[in-house]
Amino acid sequence: MLGTLLARNGAAGAAALSTASDAQQFFEALYSEEQYNIVVIDDRPRWADWHAVAAASRKYRPYALVVLLVSVEHTVEQCEHLLGDDVAAVYPRNSAGMLALARLLATLSSQQRHFSLRRDATAVEVDAEEVVREEREKLIYAVSHDLQDPLQLARRYAGILTDDYENALGDDGTKVLDHLQFNLNRTQEMLDELLDYSRLQSARPEKTPVDMNELLSEVVSLYRLTLDEIGGSVTQQHALPTLVVDRRQMLRVMQNLIGNAIKFRSERPLQVTVRAQKVRNEWRIGVKDNGIGIADDDTKRIFGMFERAGGADEHPGTGMGLAICKRIIANHGGKIWVRSSPGSGSVFIFSIPQTDDAASSPPHD
Ligand code: ADP
């Protein structure tokens, strides 16, 4: 928990040195050239005589704040005498203490940012944008991660009500409970996708050469039963190239696009065509369907988080699929967009830059 907190804030500008690492690592970092504006001393590791560590921190890091984490049995009053020249703050090692530490780190990182903003006028815009982006990412992660526990608890209680008290609830009560469970499950689905989305932010694509023909066959085999049931087809206009991409992430993109073509099909028998085109140094892959299409106003919006076009409520889904596709494609340095008109179908196109021509083979008819 402490490690995650420090790592998260480290990225945001509050450089923290912590005794959560082992003694050698800690002292190497303390004596290093690295900039730290906070030193967190946990009084728990056996190697840490915190008096000595605090004194050493003060000596080698005179400008860093020294924070001591103490076991929860100590009351605040008992800890106050620990404050002094060497220790600036004492927090209990529980959630309240972690929260206080998180606030302190956030304040330090924002001061650090203001400092760097003032220092370099040309960096102002870039830094401000970066700050907003980072804050948004932190919020997305915090919401999707920290709400998991209370939500799971709520689902467990709803489960207990169903299992043990259904008879006592009567018809109306059971209906309300069904409704509650449906919405809790939906919230769980949305949170899981949000967490996934957040994790993709830091996941560097593990790129390998991927034969897109073979990847498409895998996606089609996943939907084989549904396609047979609805009499739909997925065809390739020509052979697809081999792209240097993260296979798992690319599978996800293709699965989302073909899944959507199936979900948003029209009365006509579904026909999906996949094609590829090399434009300068990038490959463009297009997934075309003859489904319900998308109104002009919605074509940009649907790539945002939880955004769905008009009429989508009749179909299952959370509105996160295309946001996830957009993030994956952006992680590969590409773009994704759609051309569509209501009633006549859509074509979703994404680009993947391929600088090394040797790595990607052209499609052969
Ligand atoms: P979801 O499928 O869960 O609704 P997505 O992010 O994958 O979420 O898609 C967002 C919205 O874009 C969908 O709700 C739908 O309105 C629209 N959409 C996506 N793909 C298609 C498609 N092939 N044809 C028509 N509309 C689509």
Closest CA to 216 of 184, 185, 244, 253: 253
Please identify, by atom number, the ligand 1 atom nearest to the C-alpha of residue 311.
16
Q: How far is the CA of 207 from the centre of ligand 1 (A)?
A: 27
**Burial class for 263, CB neighbours closer than 10 Å (0-12, 13-18, 19+):** middle
**310 C-alpha to center of ligand 1: Å?**
10
Task: Find, among 329, 134, 353, the residue nearest to 249 by Cα.
Answer: 329
206-244 pLDDT, tens per residue?
999 999 999 999 999 999 999 999 999 999 988 999 999
CA of 292 to the centre of ligand 1 (A): 10
pTM of the model: 0.64
321-331: pLDDT as tens digits = 999 999 999 99
More confident residue, 127 or 117: 127
Q: Give residue 3's pLDDT.
A: 63
More confident residue, 40 or 249: 249
Domains, the chain, with CATH or none: 2-119 (3.40.50.2300), 124-202 (1.10.287.130), 207-353 (3.30.565.10)
For 165-208, what is each residue's pLDDT tens digit? 988 988 899 999 999 999 999 999 999 999 889 888 777 889 99
